[in-house]
Structure 1
């Protein structure tokens, strides 16, 4: 099997990995359960509190759920604004990474020389890598904040646990980082080292 064929299969595999990571990161935005908490009450039975970056919800033991959108962007804490911003930047970068990679991969015949296509693939890989790092920072900061509040004995407000949305975000971010790193290594070798040898 030639080197070009190996690189082509690696690029296809990385594309599947990165698109899967992008879909997972996108899917965290509508997921309600980024944080959750359970509170036992004599009157209402058990109440479940859960929230994400966009709304806070409560459901009681009868199954009735009531959600309240976070009303004002300017009234938000800086950390929620930072997490929102980083995740949206990650989604946009990964989208453009997909476009660049589709144009530059060895298995697509859209045009350009081998070096130009390798450089496009490298740019797409860097988009994936930077996007994955942005979302990883957001999810890790959010999860660490919940962990610190939960373990702090002096924290008197209601304590929440890490929800499924954060775990899915970690998984998607990891896929983006790994796929983007592999793209950058292989395409960078082809796009920049081969041109410097000439």
Structure 2
């Protein structure tokens, strides 16, 4: 019962994390820059520049937004392409992870035997971890590019200092939930898989026996002959005595016993 509850909790947490990551790919305001609005004039004009993985946009004080979509793949900045690829790779791994964990969970009636289901859960946890690493690498790359322009001392003319938007923080929270859910999965099957592997190592492989001990059996290898009966096993005379004692001697029946 405890294993089932832990797996359900891990499934909900990891699925929520992947939902957050998927939402960030369609969200706006990955980076934001603001111009104006500091006063000094009777008319205050404010303009917001923001970008995501698919377009660059400008929103003025009248709430009119003008966007410039990324036309072709080779016209996009290289780090945006890398972020796209890493996120898509992570989402693909996450899809296989969710399927494997759903089939291998104890509360589902598909997946085969218990050992097979535990292996599927462990494989799904590995996919979750690899996908989470791919996602967090994408977010860190984007954060690095934004921070390089935000903290530079001498900014080029016409360049803007951008700040991080909400999708970055939402994606980082999603990665944390994915890692947390994979830990829950591993906790439920780690002990079973490790014990099964140890049993296979002890009883599965053949053991090497020295040439002098190949004739011994399991009992003669560990339990040597008793010293009390050593003289009976040493000489042929003693062996003949044992053979004579082992022979059954016919007994003569009385007439009464034969009659009965």
Scaled by the length of structure 2, the TM-score of the pair is 0.70
What are the ranges of 5 or more consecutive residues in structure 1 without an aligned counterpart? none
2:125 matched to which residue of 1? Answer: 125
CA shift for structure 1 position 88: 0.7
In the TM superposition, residue 184 of structure 1 has moved relative to its aligned partner by 2.8
Count matched residues: 194
1:44: how far off? 8.1
Give the structure 1 partner of residue 218 of structure 2.
none
Question: RCO (CA 8 Å, sep 6+): is it higher in 1 or 2?
Answer: 1
* 1:16-55 superposed matches below 5 A: 16-40=12-36, 45-55=45-55
Equivalent runs, 1:2-151 vs 2, <5 Å: 5-40=1-36, 45-151=45-151
**Partner residue, 1:168:** 170
Deviation per residue, 1:164-185 (Å, 9 max, x gap): 1111111111111221233234
Counterparts of 1:113 and 1:38 in 2: how far apart (Å)?
59
Quote the offset at 1:192 in angstroms.
4.2
Q: Which ranges of structure 2 fall in alignment gaps of 5 or more residues?
A: 201-260
Is the deviation greater in 30-39 or in 173-182?
A: 173-182
Segments of 4+ moved more than 3 angstroms: 41-44
Q: CA RMSD in A?
A: 1.7
**Counterpart Cα distance in 2 of 1:180 and 1:107:** 17
Quick check: 58-67 or 39-48, which moved more? Answer: 39-48
TM-score (norm 1): 0.91
Of residues 56-65 and 105-114 in structure 1, the stretch that sits farther from structure 2 once superposed is 105-114
d(CA) in 1 for partners of 2:55, 2:111: 46
Question: Displacement of 1:195 after TM fit?
Answer: 4.4
- Does the residue aligned with 1:169 lie in a helix, a strand or coil? helix
Q: SS of the counterpart of 2:26?
A: coil
- Distance, in Å, in 2 between the alignment partners of 1:160 and 1:45 is 19
